[in-house]
Amino acid sequence: MFKHQVSYRVRYADTDQMRFMYYGNYARLFEIGRVESLRTLGCHYTELEKTGVWMPVIDLQSRYLKPAFYDDELVIETRIPSLPAARILFEYEISRTDGVVIHEAKTTLVFLSCSTGKPCRAPDLLKSALLPFFH
Protein backbone atom coordinates (compact mmCIF):
# COMPACT_ATOMS: atom_id res chain seq x y z
CA MET A 1 0.00 0.00 0.00
CA PHE A 2 1.19 3.48 -0.82
CA LYS A 3 0.57 6.30 1.71
CA HIS A 4 1.25 10.02 1.60
CA GLN A 5 0.38 12.95 3.88
CA VAL A 6 0.00 16.64 3.17
CA SER A 7 -1.13 19.49 5.44
CA TYR A 8 -3.86 22.00 4.74
CA ARG A 9 -5.01 24.96 6.85
CA VAL A 10 -8.72 25.77 6.64
CA ARG A 11 -9.17 29.24 5.19
CA TYR A 12 -12.00 31.63 5.96
CA ALA A 13 -13.24 31.20 2.38
CA ASP A 14 -13.59 27.44 3.05
CA THR A 15 -16.23 27.94 5.75
CA ASP A 16 -20.00 28.40 5.68
CA GLN A 17 -22.35 30.51 7.77
CA MET A 18 -22.24 27.89 10.56
CA ARG A 19 -18.44 28.34 10.72
CA PHE A 20 -17.91 24.73 9.49
CA MET A 21 -15.78 23.96 6.51
CA TYR A 22 -18.35 23.79 3.70
CA TYR A 23 -19.06 20.18 2.73
CA GLY A 24 -18.32 20.75 -0.97
CA ASN A 25 -14.76 21.79 -0.19
CA TYR A 26 -13.77 18.31 0.96
CA ALA A 27 -13.62 17.10 -2.66
CA ARG A 28 -10.95 19.77 -3.24
CA LEU A 29 -8.95 18.34 -0.32
CA PHE A 30 -9.15 14.90 -1.92
CA GLU A 31 -7.74 16.36 -5.12
CA ILE A 32 -4.93 18.06 -3.19
CA GLY A 33 -4.07 14.75 -1.53
CA ARG A 34 -4.26 12.86 -4.82
CA VAL A 35 -2.16 15.32 -6.82
CA GLU A 36 0.50 15.69 -4.14
CA SER A 37 0.75 11.94 -3.57
CA LEU A 38 1.24 11.33 -7.29
CA ARG A 39 3.78 14.17 -7.38
CA THR A 40 5.90 12.42 -4.71
CA LEU A 41 5.90 9.35 -6.94
CA GLY A 42 7.22 11.43 -9.86
CA CYS A 43 3.86 11.14 -11.64
CA HIS A 44 2.64 14.69 -12.11
CA TYR A 45 -0.81 14.94 -13.69
CA THR A 46 0.71 16.90 -16.58
CA GLU A 47 3.22 14.08 -17.18
CA LEU A 48 0.47 11.47 -17.12
CA GLU A 49 -1.53 13.51 -19.62
CA LYS A 50 1.55 13.68 -21.86
CA THR A 51 1.45 9.87 -21.99
CA GLY A 52 -2.02 10.24 -23.56
CA VAL A 53 -4.13 9.49 -20.48
CA TRP A 54 -6.81 11.43 -18.60
CA MET A 55 -8.00 10.43 -15.15
CA PRO A 56 -11.59 11.53 -14.42
CA VAL A 57 -13.25 10.71 -11.11
CA ILE A 58 -16.09 8.22 -11.65
CA ASP A 59 -17.04 7.55 -8.03
CA LEU A 60 -16.82 9.46 -4.75
CA GLN A 61 -17.77 8.13 -1.33
CA SER A 62 -17.50 10.60 1.51
CA ARG A 63 -18.16 10.28 5.25
CA TYR A 64 -18.25 13.32 7.54
CA LEU A 65 -17.30 12.41 11.11
CA LYS A 66 -16.61 15.79 12.72
CA PRO A 67 -16.49 19.35 11.37
CA ALA A 68 -13.40 21.34 10.48
CA PHE A 69 -13.35 25.02 11.40
CA TYR A 70 -11.55 28.14 10.23
CA ASP A 71 -7.79 27.98 10.91
CA ASP A 72 -7.77 24.26 11.76
CA GLU A 73 -4.66 22.61 10.44
CA LEU A 74 -5.63 19.37 8.75
CA VAL A 75 -3.60 16.37 7.66
CA ILE A 76 -4.79 14.71 4.46
CA GLU A 77 -3.59 11.12 4.28
CA THR A 78 -3.98 9.61 0.83
CA ARG A 79 -3.63 5.87 0.27
CA ILE A 80 -3.51 3.78 -2.88
CA PRO A 81 -4.42 0.30 -1.57
CA SER A 82 -3.84 -1.68 -4.78
CA LEU A 83 -2.01 -1.49 -8.07
CA PRO A 84 -4.10 0.20 -10.77
CA ALA A 85 -5.30 -1.53 -13.90
CA ALA A 86 -8.03 0.33 -15.83
CA ARG A 87 -9.05 2.17 -12.64
CA ILE A 88 -7.29 3.49 -9.58
CA LEU A 89 -8.72 3.72 -6.07
CA PHE A 90 -7.66 6.46 -3.67
CA GLU A 91 -8.59 6.37 0.02
CA TYR A 92 -8.45 9.48 2.20
CA GLU A 93 -8.39 10.12 5.91
CA ILE A 94 -8.52 13.75 7.03
CA SER A 95 -7.59 14.50 10.60
CA ARG A 96 -6.79 17.49 12.74
CA THR A 97 -3.24 17.81 14.03
CA ASP A 98 -4.48 16.55 17.43
CA GLY A 99 -5.04 13.19 15.71
CA VAL A 100 -8.85 13.31 15.62
CA VAL A 101 -10.11 11.86 12.35
CA ILE A 102 -12.81 14.15 10.94
CA HIS A 103 -13.43 12.69 7.47
CA GLU A 104 -13.01 9.49 5.46
CA ALA A 105 -13.48 9.13 1.73
CA LYS A 106 -12.70 7.13 -1.41
CA THR A 107 -12.49 8.15 -5.04
CA THR A 108 -12.23 5.90 -8.05
CA LEU A 109 -10.67 7.30 -11.20
CA VAL A 110 -10.69 5.64 -14.59
CA PHE A 111 -7.91 5.90 -17.14
CA LEU A 112 -9.13 7.31 -20.46
CA SER A 113 -7.25 7.65 -23.71
CA CYS A 114 -6.94 11.35 -24.58
CA SER A 115 -7.23 10.53 -28.28
CA THR A 116 -10.26 8.22 -28.19
CA GLY A 117 -11.97 9.07 -24.89
CA LYS A 118 -12.25 5.34 -24.19
CA PRO A 119 -11.01 3.45 -21.12
CA CYS A 120 -7.42 2.23 -21.26
CA ARG A 121 -4.83 0.65 -18.97
CA ALA A 122 -2.90 2.56 -16.33
CA PRO A 123 0.22 4.24 -17.73
CA ASP A 124 3.48 2.33 -17.26
CA LEU A 125 4.96 5.43 -15.59
CA LEU A 126 2.41 5.17 -12.77
CA LYS A 127 2.50 1.38 -12.44
CA SER A 128 6.32 1.40 -12.26
CA ALA A 129 6.31 4.11 -9.59
CA LEU A 130 3.80 2.19 -7.43
CA LEU A 131 5.22 -1.30 -7.86
CA PRO A 132 7.82 -1.05 -5.02
CA PHE A 133 5.02 -0.35 -2.50
CA PHE A 134 3.28 -3.64 -3.28
CA HIS A 135 6.13 -6.12 -2.88
Which tens digits make up the pLDDT trace of 48-101? Answer: 999 999 999 999 999 999 999 999 999 999 999 999 999 999 999 999 999 999
The whole-angstrom separation of Cα 8 and Cα 28 is 11
Pairing of strands 87-96, 57-64: unpaired
| Residue-range domains of the chain with CATH | 2-134 (3.10.129.10)
Q: Distance of CA 87 to CAs 22, 78, 119, Å?
A: 29, 16, 9
Average pLDDT over residues 24-45: 96
The whole-angstrom distance between residue 29's C-alpha and the CA centroid of its chain comes to 7
